[in-house]
Each structure stands twice: as C-alpha cells, then as structure tokens.
Amino acid sequence: MLEPQQEEAIKTFLDDLDKTDDPEVMVDLSRQFLAYAYSNQQWFLKACFDPFRLKRDKIKGKRPQRTYVVVDCMNMIHRAWTSKYDGKRDNFVKIIRDIKGTFPGNSFIIADDSSSTFRSEITDQWKGDREEKLPEFLTFIQECRDLCWDMGTPPMAWEGFECDDVMASIAATVSLWGDKTILETNDRDLWQCLGPNTTMHNLKTGTTDVAKLKKEYKITPQQAVDYWCLVGGKNGVKGCDGIGEVRASKLLEKYGSFQEIYHHREDLGSLKENLEEFIKKYAMLQRLHTLWNKLPIKHAFLEESA
C-alpha cells in the first residue's frame, strides 16, 4: 500500500511525462527518474519504468546512438607544453587533430577550467602544491584556447567549476539520453564517471573502461572517490597516513567503502589510529574529490555539436 506522498510523486511524474515532447524536459525527467533509481525506490520504479522508457525512446526517435568525444583542454595544453618536440603551438594543434582522427565522425567538445572553483573555497590546500605558472606558460594557455576557436571548437568552461566537473556533467547528460561519451584525458579523477555509456581514452595508453579499472586497480567507479580520499597526494591534499595506492585498492576490494574500512579498523592493526585521525577530514575530502556532474548542460547544445 502506497503512502499518499508516494502516490502524489508517481502521479506528478507520469503527468509531466505524458505532457512533454521536449528533449530538454525529458532530460530533467531522466534526472528525476535516476534519483529514484539510485536510492532504490522500488515503489516508484515499478510504476514509472515502462512509461518512462517508452516516452524516452519515442522522443529520441530512430536516430542512431551518438558518441561525444570530450577533451580535457588543460590536459592537452600540458602535454603540448612538455613535449620533447619543438613548436609547442604546433604540438597542441597536432594533439587535437590526432584525437579527431582517432574518433572520426563523432561529436567533439573541448572542456576547460574556469578562473576559480568552489574547491578553493573549501580549503586553501587544494592544488596548493603546484608551482606558480610561468608568464610564458600563461601566454601559451591563452594561445591554445584561441587555437581551439580557430579550429571551430571553442572551449566550454563553467564559472566556479573545474574542467573535470564540466566533463562529468556532459557525460551524465549524454548517458541520460542513451548516448555514449569518450573522455579524452589521463586525469584519473574521472574514473568515477566510468559506466556502460562512458569510457576514458588516452592517445598513448588507449581506452579505460569499468572492466579495465577493476582489473588494474581492483576498484569500481563508485569506489573511486574513496580511493583518492585515502591515497591523497592529488591536487595537494593529503590522504590517510600509511595508505598508498596498492593498500587502498586492497582495502576497498575487501571492505567495499571507507565507511566499512573504518568500521573494521580494530582488525587493521597499526592503521587503526591513522584511520581515526583521517576520519576527521574525510567529509571534506569527499567533497573535494567528488566531481559535480549536475551542471545544467543543455541537450540542445550537445545536439548542435553532433
């Protein structure tokens, strides 16, 4: 027997579903649907799954599944800057062209950082270990952004958020629509985005998907945030003393999450005291390492890039 508020939630969702033929509204309804799915609200899923799937497929029509290649702009800029070859501008252009050549015929988006991010407001340690950028490197960054415009692919940034957040939000929006995303980067923070419709790619090392992550690091995308919280060292933020990448993998493989690791700290010998100290900053680290994948990326924008 459903509670009155449950019945009202189902009625509202189905009414909104019935009224719309707008892809943008459908993306919003998809986010609502996934929120119920992620929290395992079976009462909602039983009533709404079939109507939702049928309407999504109807609006999507019979167009083939699309693939969006999303490029980490700063990652490519650093790669061009540190290349052993002369001509850094030419290096950047070559990298972008090589990526496009690897995935011909697919939609192409370049994601970029904004000037400041919410993470710097959480702690001044965020990326505090990075050396101040040389004036000539700052000039090179702007030159590369200008080159993106010249190549017909202007970088996409979102004020207050990092490139990783933009990439995560694009991947989430694309997945809601049943399409695929390839994240061109070697930034392992984006492991948490991997899924049935989302992979990572690097021109040198190839493709990383859920299966490869599990095989090589013994973790799932859902464990990636806890992994980096424990390991630390990325972006200038310290993790848990006594835990490196190998040990973090083993602990998460055995216990599943940081909460369960902490629950079993009595079984972990000398690590117990480190975990009891670490938990004081765990919530902050979780906020820092969790990518914000809810930026309101418009599906119409993605369609225009196709």
Task: Give domain limits for the chain.
Answer: 4-60, 67-214+293-305, 218-289
Provide the pLDDT for residue 217: 96
**Which residue type occupies 87?**
G
Provide the pLDDT for residue 105: 79
Provide the pLDDT for residue 220: 96
Same fold, 67-214+293-305 and 218-289: no
Provide the pLDDT for residue 305: 56
| Residues of the chain with confidence (pLDDT) below 50 | 306
Residue 156 DSSP label: B
Cβ neighbour number for residue 289 with a 10 Å cutoff: 23
Q: What is the torsional sign of CA 296, 301, 305, 306?
A: positive
Domain 218-289 adopts which CATH fold? DNA polymerase; domain 1 (1.10.150)
Cβ neighbour number for residue 220 with a 10 Å cutoff: 17
Provide the pLDDT for residue 249: 97
Please give the structure tokens belonging to residue 232.
Answer: 């630390």
Provide the pLDDT for residue 59: 79
**Which CATH number applies to 67-214+293-305: 2.60.120.40, 3.30.1330.10, 3.40.228.10, 3.40.50.1010?**
3.40.50.1010
Task: Quote the CA–CA distance of 19 and 17 in Å, as a whole number.
Answer: 6
Candidates 259, 257, 228, 260; CA nearest to 244 is: 228
Tens of pLDDT, residues 74-127: 999 999 999 888 899 999 999 999 999 999 878 889 999 887 788 888 877 766
Residue 128 DSSP label: T
Task: Quote the CA–CA distance of 156 and 71 in Å, as a whole number.
Answer: 10
Provide the pLDDT for residue 242: 95
Provide the pLDDT for residue 27: 80
Task: Quote the CA–CA distance of 209 and 213 in Å, as a whole number.
Answer: 6
Task: Quote the CA–CA distance of 276 and 154 in Å, as a whole number.
Answer: 47
